[in-house]
Amino acid sequence: MNRGELLLVVLVAEAALGYPAWLFAAVGHPVSWVGALIGGLERRWNAGGAGRRRAFGMLLLVVLVGVAGGAGWAVTFLVGEGWGVALLVLVATAGLAQRSLYDHVAAVARPLGAGDLVAARVAVGAIVGRDTGALDESRVAVAAIESLAESFCDGVVGPALWFLVGGLPGLLICKAINTADSIVGHRDARHGDFGWAAARADDLVMWVPARVAGLLVAAAGGGGLRVMWRDAGKHASPNGGWPEAAMAGALGVRLGGAVSYDGELAQRAVLGDGRAPGVADLARGLRIYVRACGLLWVVVGGAAWLL
């Protein structure tokens, strides 16, 4: 099988099976392994002056790329052809999040639709970094929709496209960089220098996937291109605004606005010019997400035919 055919199998397998709960209970998840490595190195290396912190942050990135790429190459080399490819598919599914992302956002939509705001706040708090204890229904919906759109890029489109480019090593390197960005790529006093390399690397590897994700969301939602082109650049991230603005336009709602992190109020750019979203919009967003994943399968199938 060429990479496109193999990726299509991986996407279908991950959507159908997800990451088995028994496997998670037994050995955890590869992303958590990478996170543990990042956390351990950050505690040892993130000290001293700004120059030292930035240098060791670059070294962290080198280590992650080496470990992830080496692991991907080793699995690819060892499985060879035939039935061994099933192991490669299993490993690759751990780098995708189609099913888990749907499940996590649906876990917010269910209590929100039932009027259980407390449970909805707890559920959305598991997938976003902002303070959620005082969110009203609309702000819970905003948080969940934004996470759904951005994670479609980071957890689905990005790893898939990098698999097409570099096989399993490409997918695992993409996930390692994205994980590093989520852990240390912050602009606070502790991580601003140490996480600089991880943040810039993530901007680079997600540049194309973000724009592809935005186009897929707009196509799946039957609209959103105008808002995406107009508002994507307003986002603090060079990439996050593309799928989020496309989702805002497709749903006809406003995303962004005021959020609180650790008690500190921050103003995020407003994406879209519609009404404030509600629980029905979150349910529609999930349907758009499913269709966007289907469109990605079509794109990958086309790539398989061309390769």
Q: For 19-74, write each residue's pLDDT tens digit.
A: 877 777 777 788 889 999 999 999 999 999 999 999 999 999 999 999 999 999 99
pLDDT single digits (tens) 192-214: 999 999 999 999 999 999 999 99
pLDDT single digits (tens) 68-115: 999 999 999 988 777 778 889 988 999 999 999 999 999 999 999 999
Q: What is the pLDDT of residue 190?
A: 86
Q: CA gyration radius for the chain? A: 19
Q: Based on the number of CB atoms within 10 Å of its own CB, is 25 exposed (0-12), middle (13-18) or buried (19 or more)? A: exposed
Task: Kindly tell me the sign of the dihedral angle through the C-alpha atoms of 157, 245, 270, 207.
Answer: positive
Of 95, 65, 96, the residue nearest 197 (C-alpha): 65
pTM: 0.93
Q: Spell out the residues 6+ positions from residue 25 whose beta carbon is closer than 8 angstroms to its own.
A: none
pLDDT single digits (tens) 224-265: 999 999 999 999 999 999 999 999 999 999 999 988 887 788
Q: What is the pLDDT of residue 242?
A: 98
Task: Kindly tell me the sign of the dihedral angle through the C-alpha atoms of 158, 159, 160, 165.
Answer: positive
Q: What is the pLDDT of residue 21?
A: 74
Q: What is the pLDDT of residue 28?
A: 79
Q: How far apart are CA 44 and CA 39, in angstroms?
A: 9
CA atoms within 13 A on the CB side of 119: 13
Q: How far apart are CA 157 and CA 175, in angstroms?
A: 11
